[in-house]
Amino acid sequence: MTTRDLLAAEWTKAVTLRSTLACAALAPLLAAALGVLLGHEFGGHALRSGPAVDPLFPCLYGLTLAQIPLVALGVLLTGGENRSGTIGAALLATPRRGTLHTAKALAVTAMATPLAAATVAASFLAARAGLGRRAPAWTDPAVPAALAGAVLYLVLICLLGAAAGTLLAGTAAPLGVLLPLLLLGSQGLGNIPGLRAVTQYLPDQTAQPLLHLAGPQSVPNFHRDYGPWTGLGLTAAWTAAALLAARLALRRRDIG
Amino acid sequence: MVIEFQHLTKRYARHRPAVDDLTCTVAEGRVTGLVGPNGAGKSTVLRTLLGLHRPTAGRALIRGRGYAELRAPQREVGAVLDAGARTAHPGRRVRDHLRWLARAGGLPASRVPAVLAAVDLDGERRAGALSLGMTARLALAAALLGDPAVLVLDEPSNGLDPAGAHWLRGTLRTLAAEGRTVLVSSHAMGELARTADHLLVIAGGRLRADAPVADLAPDGDPETLEAAFLRLTEAR
């Protein structure tokens, strides 16, 4: 019963369910589709008349929706076991709960990393094709930082879903909390001026400067109180806190 | 003794104890029945033994150690959680459920077809498409994966039809005859009368009897045993 055995078991669980496979496939597909739309939109009329727009914005904006299947994947990989009763079997095989929790976090990270890379690549390449001559230059030093940041962000948000699934011991409750947070936080609440001082610290908002989704930081209306990498650090802090809470909850809980 | 309960007490928030100061042992090479009416505390006893519930006081030990301290739990203990509560994801194939369990325990992949054959189950079916009887067989297959010397089974006959119940009785007798320790719970005394060698009777979370079946029903008549059970478990 080594860490390697536990990772192999988690991998087997993930690839033998249609629900988790579908979520995994949906993220890069959605990113590519949105990338095509955004690339054409911004490559065409939008930039011709209006002010100069950060070319990385249309390249990564699709991730605000494409992150949803990754969050759902994280929730399914952990909370799905509470729903199906599989958690009982998992704990009989691995009764040390801290060990099980660590193995799950490692497994989710290992699965989310290539998936996040594929999703970011799909978004970037699809949008880039549509942007034409307005596409960000390969030599622009902002590009690798934004892409690497986007991959890290998607891994963190998938782990946040996994932590919520464990913490709330199910699938409906964590999705009910996270989806409105990630959708309303960006699209709704984040645009209300009075609330921005607070909502800018929501886990998805903190990553937006690094992903070039927060708007020009020199403009007061768009300004965030943290820099790009500090922002990603804040997202990581959210995920770390959620994982810690999940670990403590799992250690104390009576199962079944 | 293979399994020991030492002053085991479990109290859920603001309720009276589900298990109250239980002290008894379970020996190897025989089938021990844990019997009591619904709500007697049987599942709580077994879930605490398996480390799924944390005792309020006292201990439940397997060969002197708590379940979470076992080095290779699946090789030492096979467990069936209340068969009504499925533990296989309904969307996963039976074979895949056993495959991940084998991996988690570091068990050879060859154990999967071996246990499927032992319980006579089709590995290609999805767990959600199984009848109650087949679900019970899958639960037992998972318990047998590590070829354990100790089996802890919570109501494994729930939902079995007469043929399935007959099959389960024979399987449990065989496992005990191989020298294994079999602890099996049931609310149906008649069911255990034909399976168990020894009975632990609990009611209201307390031990009411710890005796061989032959002592509780010297004439071997299930009616006598049932009368003894009702007398032992009536409210005090």
Is the CB of A255 inside 8 Å of chain B's CB atoms?
Answer: yes
A-chain residue closest to B88, CA distance? A86
pLDDT at B177 over 80: yes
pLDDT > 90 in chain A, percent = 75
Record: contact A95-B51, CB cut-off 8 A: yes
Record: contact B53-A1, CB cut-off 8 A: no
The CA distance from B91 to A171, in Å, is 15
Q: Sort out which chain B residues have CB atoms less than 8 A from A6's CB and list them.
A: 104
pLDDT tens figures, B38-65: 889 999 999 999 999 999 999 999 999 9
pLDDT at A188: 67
Is the CB of B83 inside 8 Å of chain A's CB atoms?
Answer: no
Is the CB of B96 inside 8 Å of chain A's CB atoms?
Answer: yes
The pTM (predicted TM-score) of the whole model is 0.94
Q: Place A207 in a pLDDT band, splitting at 50, 70 and 90.
A: very high
Is the CB of B166 inside 8 Å of chain A's CB atoms?
Answer: no
The single residue listed with the structure tokens 């958690």 is A87
The single residue listed with the structure tokens 């799905």 is A80
The predicted complex's ipTM stands at 0.94
Smallest CA–CA distance, residue A1 to chain B, in Å, is 5
Is the CB of A169 inside 8 Å of chain B's CB atoms?
Answer: no
Look at A242 and B218; give whichever has higher pLDDT: A242
pLDDT tens figures, A215-252: 888 888 888 999 999 999 999 999 999 999 999 999 99
Q: Which of A243, A222, A238, A254 is nearest to A53 (CA)?
A: A222
Strand-pair category, B77-80 with B57-62 = unpaired
Cα→Cα distances B97→A174, B76, B133, Å: 25, 20, 17
Smallest CA–CA distance, residue A115 to chain B, in Å, is 22
SS3 of B153-187: the string is EECCCCCCCHHHHHHHHHHHHHHHHCCCEEEEEEC
Look at B189 and A243; give whichever has higher pLDDT: A243
Q: Pick the residue of B54, B98, B101 with the most A CBs within 10 A to test the interface with A by mutation.
A: B101
Q: Place B236 in a pLDDT band, splitting at 50, 70 and 90.
A: low
pLDDT tens figures, A136-193: 888 888 999 999 999 999 999 999 999 999 999 999 999 999 999 888 766 666 667 7
A-chain residue closest to B95, CA distance? A16
Q: Sort out which chain A residues have CB atoms less than 8 A from B67's CB and list them.
A: 95
Average pLDDT, chain B: 92
**Identity of the residue in B87, B91, B93 whose CB atom sits nearest the CB atom of A89:** B87
Contacts (Cβ under 8 Å, ≥6 apart) of B162: none
Q: Place B117 in a pLDDT band, splitting at 50, 70 and 90.
A: very high
pLDDT > 90 in chain B, percent = 72
